[in-house]
Amino acid sequence: MRTPADVLDNRPRSNYQGSEKTLEMVKEQVKERWGIRAANSFDPYHDAMTATAWFAAGFKIKKGEKALKSITFIEAEDTEGNLHHKVRRGVNLFHKRQVEPAS
């Protein structure tokens, strides 16, 4: 028999790195779409991931769903491996309410 801990340990996990700014940005979008309760219970490690991450976890995006917008920074290095600067990249995330098991 599976325990609740087994279920929680096997949940898909996002690549969220702990940025408060991106957390608040995505949380605000969750609040606008699904209300204050969804925003207050939002877990960035398990509730929102890229489409590719959801696909890898056995889910698909529901038809007609629009992505939540976030950002990340990629470190740009030269040929010698020295860090030159960080490049801002947009990231499209989908909330767990926007996905369903793939058949």
Whether 7 is covered by a domain: the verdict is no
**Which ranges in the chain belong to alpha helices (H)?**
4-9, 20-34, 36-40, 51-56
Residue 32: is its pLDDT beyond 60?
yes
Residue 1 falls inside a structural domain: no
pLDDT band at residue 103 under the 50/70/90 scheme = confident
Residue 6 lies in a domain: no
Tokens 């801990």 belong to: 5
Domain that holds residue 23: 17-101
Q: 3 pLDDT exceeds 60?
A: no
Share the mean pLDDT of the chain: 86
Residue 40 belongs to some domain of the structure: yes
Percent with pLDDT over 90 in the chain: 55
Assigned domain for 12 exists: no
Domain contains 5: no
Domain count, the chain: 1
pLDDT band at 2 (very low <50, low <70, confident <90, very high): very low
* Residue type at 48 in one-letter notation: A
Helix-strand-coil split of the chain, %, nearest 5: 35, 30, 35
pLDDT 10s digits, 61-85: 999 999 999 998 888 888 887 877 8
Judge whether 43 lies within some domain: yes
| Separation of alpha carbons 23 and 42, rounded Å | 9
Please enumerate in sequence order all residues whose Cβ is within 8 A of that of 12, keeping only pairs 6 or more positions apart, or say none. 46, 49, 53, 54, 56, 57, 59
